[in-house]
Chain A
Amino acid sequence: MDFKAIFRVALKALARNKMRTILTMLGIIIGVAAVICTVAIGEGASNQVQEQLASLGDNLVMVFAGSVNSHGIHMGSQATKTLTAGDAQSIAQIPFVKAVSPGVGIGEQIVYQDQNWFSGVSGESPAYFEIRKWPVIQGSPFTQHDVEGAANVCVLGRTVVENLFADGENPVGKVIRIHNLPFRVVGVLSPKGESPWGHDEDDIIVAPYTTVQKKLAGISWVQSIQASATAVGTVVPAEQQIESLLRQRHHLRPDEDDDFIIRSTLDIANAREQSARVLTLLLASIASVSLLVGGIGIMNIMLVSVTERTREIGIRMAVGATENDVQNQFLSEAVVLSLLGGALGIIFGVFGSMAVSSMLHWPTLIPPQAIVIAVVFSAGVGVFFGYYPARKAARLDPIEALRYE
């Protein structure tokens, strides 16, 4: 019996009992749709994280001042005073590094006329704006000359502008007071939104690091150094070279821990991705339980169908159907049932994740592999749960089956 004939017979048998067919398929439909939806939500989330991290900076490698361990007493991170602007300058010499900005941060009350706002003031070099891929949209960034002269100039983030200035007022050229020192606003940053950690990135004032160091924080060291690697592929070697360079400059013995912490967006991305993947896997496995239940539903209905159609099986055997013919007939019915359910499940899953996107504003993304896996898996369910009933049908004795009422 050829494949096409088997398939046609299966379709005809299923069409004969439409309501039952649909109800049986429902289990598979729901299972596949649930798997597709959870995978789509998981993939969408991890895709969003990737995008956010990419927007964080241009192949970003960050160095933070580390914790101090002096005589067994650990101080908090960024407690060391060993990271300097000189370190940043030598990092800039590394071939895999294209831009470097030393950083100092401090929280300050900012006043403009009768308005005030508390915000973080970041001391950086002009390279900061390209490292963070953060263009100045009004005015211009401060210059290397401002850094060398520790000039009282600053660039404002969108949130700060909104809180200090009236609508429509151009902040560029205005003078604001930070820590009672007058600072001239030279530029406004483009709005960036939330960081992957949910923190408002636009609530920031960027000034030359020398100015923040000397006039606001009163320190001679820096708290962080941000660097851009030349390409995605050089992030890891750049990280390694920065580490050995800093160990050498800080005169660390081989048995001593780093007195700084290095992080790249790649590290963060990996950690985030891993937790997202675990969550997706968990959800998908819960969803696939319903696929299993759907499979059991198929088995149940196939068993009923074999009993109901005992006489038909007898007739088919009498006119020359072999055990294999009968087995293939019922097996293909189960597979058609589950494949059809799988196809409908994919459609419902796609629409379902579109609904999630538009109603809950969650990003969703359906990877093509998920659809392939859904098809293969539902066919597998059909074969697995259809085998026992099909075998049962094939093992019937033709004489008994013909006599069955």
Chain B
Amino acid sequence: MPEELLQSEADEVNGTSGVVPVIEVENLHKTYDLGEVQVHALRGISLAVEPGEFVAIMGASGSGKSTFMNLIGCLDRSTRGRYLLDGQDVSRLSKIELAHIRNRKIGFVFQGFNLLSRTSALENVELPLIYCSVPHQERLERAQEAICSVGLQGREGHHPAQLSGGQQQRVAIARALVTNPSLVVADEPTGNLDSRTSVEIMDIFQRLNAERNITILLVTHEPDIARYAKRIVLFRDGKIRRDSIVEDRLDARQVILDLPVVDDEDEEA
């Protein structure tokens, strides 16, 4: 399929021309210089993501999707090409400016949860706010609110070790949401979770996307998980291989209802 067609198809579905895209990358290249060899991880990626989109990035390992995610998450800088986040060119910002962008515009959710151990859920969620000088009281209020939005009220004082994997990931999602970012980047968020918990996490993402219009970029290699997104971008060998709308989109809430009742109670207790 020709690429223009795919692009126009995507625009048509979203119907948001005129609105500033959350992500707009043009001809993005990333080359890792390993001394003797040069590894071309990304070989010219162009992509636009409009506000309120829910995009799944797929691809085999080595396809460049992780590199792309690091660039989109402002953890790294591209070798060549342009990246506009919320209309702001962030491809040539300094390290300090990138840290500020990560703090204010991007929320991360990782496969390994990446919570601070021996630190309460509330303090974990509060963490990004510490780095943008929000006063103590407001920090607590906003962190509390974020924890409620992922359904973890009552567990604010629990340490990660006292929470199940699904609960830990929900704390991580709350942490990503607490700064009201333009974009949530989720890197294999269900990779460490069982299938039921995975669906529950996808339910949270779908609700955040639908109810609060939060833009989500989901990196996954599981086709089942990608089907909860609205759009799938497939990477191969550092290029976009396919960019398509999800036809048979799954509704996580419906899937949970269809799942057999397992001994979930034991895990919760």
Contacts and interface: CB of A to CB of B under 8 A. Distances in A.
Interface of A: 1-2, 5, 9, 12, 16, 311-312, 314-325, 398-399, 402
A321 B133 contact: no
Nearest to B139: A5
Contact of B131 (A1, A16, A398): A1
16 contacts: A1-B131, A2-B133, A5-B130, A311-B114, A314-B114, A315-B115, A316-B131, A317-B99, A318-B73, A318-B102, A320-B128, A320-B132, A322-B96, A322-B131, A323-B95, A402-B110
Given A325-B131, A399-B75, A320 B114 contact: no
B116 A312 contact: yes
A128 B70 CA distance: 93
B142 interface: no
A362 to B, nearest CB: 48
Given A312-B116, A316-B127, A399 B103 contact: no
Contacts, number: 63
A322 B70 contact: no
B102 A319 contact: yes
Contacts of B179: 320
B100 interface: yes
A17 to B, nearest CB: 10
A398 B131 CA distance: 16
B130 A318 contact: no
B54 interface: no
B40 interface: no
Contact of A319 (B96, B103, B136): B103
B133 A1 contact: yes
B100 A319 contact: no
B75 A398 contact: yes
Contacts of B133: 1-2
B83 interface: no
Contacts of B128: 319-320
B76 interface: yes
Interface of B: 70, 73, 75-76, 95-96, 99-100, 102-104, 108, 110, 114-116, 118-119, 127-128, 130-133, 136, 175, 179
Contacts of B130: 1, 5, 9
Given A1-B131, A399-B76, 13 more contacts: A12-B119, A16-B118, A311-B114, A318-B114, A319-B102, A319-B103, A319-B127, A320-B131, A320-B179, A323-B96, A399-B70, A402-B75, A402-B110
B181 to A, nearest CB: 10
A368 B198 CA distance: 64
B24 to A, nearest CB: 22
A315 B131 contact: no
Contacts of B104: 320
A315 B70 contact: no
A324 B94 CA distance: 13
Contacts of A315: 114-116, 127
A151 B127 CA distance: 96
Contact of B114 (A2, A325, A402): A402
B143 to A, nearest CB: 12
Contacts of B99: 317, 320-323, 325
Contacts of A325: 99, 131
Contacts of B102: 317-320
Contacts of A402: 75, 110, 114
Nearest to A325: B131
Contacts of B73: 318
Nearest to A320: B103
Contacts of A317: 75, 99, 102
A321 B131 contact: yes
Contacts of B110: 402
Contacts of A312: 116
B54 to A, nearest CB: 21
A253 B114 CA distance: 93
| Most chain B CB within a 10 A radius of its CB, from A5, A315, A324, A399 | A315
B135 to A, nearest CB: 9
A398 B128 CA distance: 15
A366 to B, nearest CB: 39
Contacts of A16: 118
Nearest to A321: B131
Contacts of B96: 322-324
B200 to A, nearest CB: 23
What 7 A-B pairs have minimum CB-CB distances, sorted nearest first? A320-B103, A319-B128, A322-B99, A320-B131, A320-B102, A322-B96, A315-B114
Contact of B108 (A318, A321, A322, A324): A318
Interface centre among A2, A316, A319, A322 (most CB of B within 10 A): A319
Nearest to B107: A319
Contacts of B127: 315-316, 319
Contacts of A322: 95-96, 99-100, 131
